[in-house]
């Protein structure tokens, strides 16, 4: 049986109190919400914090404000994933986000996991997400206690990949996050929360708390069509080995005015398909334009041998899934079977 190491546990009643504890404890402190990522990592000794600060008793971090159509939506960082899946307002206004969240793990874990926890999910790798005995047997990797990336031994960086399901679609929808520390608060684009580094993958400071996720009213289903496709071996529980999130805005004549596509699980952050907007803008969403963007996605994706399935095959599937996501938005046949993404609670 894997056991948690010893640590000091705090349950603050306010964000201000939690921020004060983080400021006082320094980098040895870690935040926890549902704990579906941190507790297993601590059991495997991936993280060994001296202090853990729980956010689940802070009421201000909970709740969904999606009532006003076309207005900015707010989701508290400790809102349970299960509550979001059951939210009819979320399914109506941001259906692809609801689809992505419904694909996360399994129903019991969605009753524990939170949106803030999912966007801050630790990066993953075949050589890292193992027990301590397994990792010690081959020598530790660069991400924890070692000096070599076993995925790319000659590399000077860690190639662990970002497997969050909510992050790519939130990025495509133009979401922002609010951060709070003892020094005050700031709001930044969700895309600015991530670094392309398997170890130092979050741009927020260790003393900052993600308090809210903000979705622009212009990204809801009245003005934006979106899609999310996720590849994994099983229909539930498994982390993504590839995901594609797409959001497309059109005018009254069906001409694309903006488009954003992000890839998940092929890099250490959600990877933007740069150039997709330029390809699609000013024209209808046609098969030719979709195929061109899919080819671009394949060029930008550099999956490594750090998760399930062969990296080369995952790269090929990047183009297929990008094409399917855009074809779904355009109302065309997707040409490949849809992934297991039920929107039912």
Per-residue pLDDT of the chain (345 residues; tens, 9 = 90+): 789 999 999 999 999 999 999 999 998 899 999 999 999 999 999 999 999 999 999 999 999 998 787 789 999 999 999 999 999 999 999 999 999 999 999 999 999 999 999 999 999 999 999 999 999 998 999 998 899 999 999 999 999 999 999 999 999 999 999 999 999 999 999 999 999 999 999 999 999 999 999 999 999 999 999 999 999 998 889 999 999 999 999 998 999 999 999 999 999 999 999 999 999 999 999 999 999 999 999 999 988 999 999 999 999 999 999 999 999 999 999 988 776 554 343
**What pLDDT is stored for residue 340 in this prediction?**
56
**What pLDDT is stored for residue 148 in this prediction?**
94
CB 308 within 8 Å of CB 238: yes
Look at residues 302, 196, 243 and name the one whose alpha carbon lies nearest to residue 99: 243
Q: For helices 311-330 and 287-300, what crossing angle results, to 10°?
A: 150
**What pLDDT is stored for residue 70 in this prediction?**
79
Task: Identify the CATH number of the domain defined by range 225-330.
Answer: 3.30.390.50
- Note every long-range contact of 142-145, with CB atoms under 8 Å and residues 24 or more positions apart, other chains counting: 142/199, 143/198, 143/199, 144/45, 144/46
**What pLDDT is stored for residue 335 in this prediction?**
82
- Strands of the sheet containing 184-189, edge to edge, are 64-65, 73-76, 209-215, 176-181, 184-189
Q: Round to whole Å and give the CA distance between 213 and 190.
A: 8
**What pLDDT is stored for residue 46 in this prediction?**
93
**What pLDDT is stored for residue 179 in this prediction?**
98
End-to-end Cα separation, the chain, in angstroms: 32
Please give the backbone phi and psi of residue 185, each rounded to the nearest 5 degrees, phi first: -125, 160
Look at residues 278, 243, 288 and name the one whose alpha carbon lies nearest to residue 258: 278
**What pLDDT is stored for residue 19 in this prediction?**
96
CB 75 within 8 Å of CB 31: no
**What pLDDT is stored for residue 345 in this prediction?**
37
**What pLDDT is stored for residue 236 in this prediction?**
86
Domains of the chain, residue spans: 225-330
Count of CB atoms situated within 10 Å of the CB of 70:
13
């Amino acid at each position: 049986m894997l056991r948690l190491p010893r640590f000091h546990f705090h349950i603050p009643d306010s964000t201000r109190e939690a921020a004060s504890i983080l400021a006082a404890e320094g980098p040895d402190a870690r935040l926890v919400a549902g704990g579906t990522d941190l507790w297993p990592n601590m059991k495997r000794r991936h993280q060994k914090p001296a202090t853990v600060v729980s956010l689940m008793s802070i009421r201000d971090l909970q709740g969904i404000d999606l009532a006003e159509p076309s207005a900015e939506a707010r989701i508290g960082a400790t809102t349970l994933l299960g509550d979001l899946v059951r939210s009819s307002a979320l399914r109506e206004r941001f259906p692809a986000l609801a689809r992505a969240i419904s694909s996360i793990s399994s129903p019991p874990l969605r009753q524990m996991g939170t949106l803030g926890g999912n966007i801050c999910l630790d990066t993953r790798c075949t050589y890292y997400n193992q027990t301590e005995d397994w990792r010690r047997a081959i020598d530790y990797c660069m991400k924890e206690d070692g000096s070599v990336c076993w995925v790319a031994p000659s590399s000077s960086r860690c190639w662990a990949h970002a497997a969050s399901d909510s992050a790519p679609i939130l990025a495509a929808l133009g979401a922002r996050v609010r951060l709070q520390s003892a020094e005050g608060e700031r709001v930044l684009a969700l895309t600015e929360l991530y670094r392309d580094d398997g170890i130092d993958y979050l741009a927020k400071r260790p003393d900052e708390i993600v308090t809210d996720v903000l979705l622009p009213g212009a990204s809801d289903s009245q003005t934006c069509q979106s899609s999310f496709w996720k590849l994994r071996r099983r229909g539930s529980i498994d982390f993504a080995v590839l995901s594609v999130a797409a959001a497309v805005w059109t005018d009254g004549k069906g001409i694309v005015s903006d488009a954003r596509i992000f890839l998940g699980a092929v890099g250490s952050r959600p990877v933007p398909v740069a150039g997709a907007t330029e390809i699609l803008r000013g024209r209808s969403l046609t098969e030719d334009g979709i195929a061109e963007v899919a080819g671009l996605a394949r060029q930008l994706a550099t999956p490594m041998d750090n998760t399930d399935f062969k990296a080369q095959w995952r790269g090929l599937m990047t183009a297929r899934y990008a094409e399917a996501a855009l074809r779904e938005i355009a109302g065309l046949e997707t040409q490949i079977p849809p992934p297991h993404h039920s929107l039912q609670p």
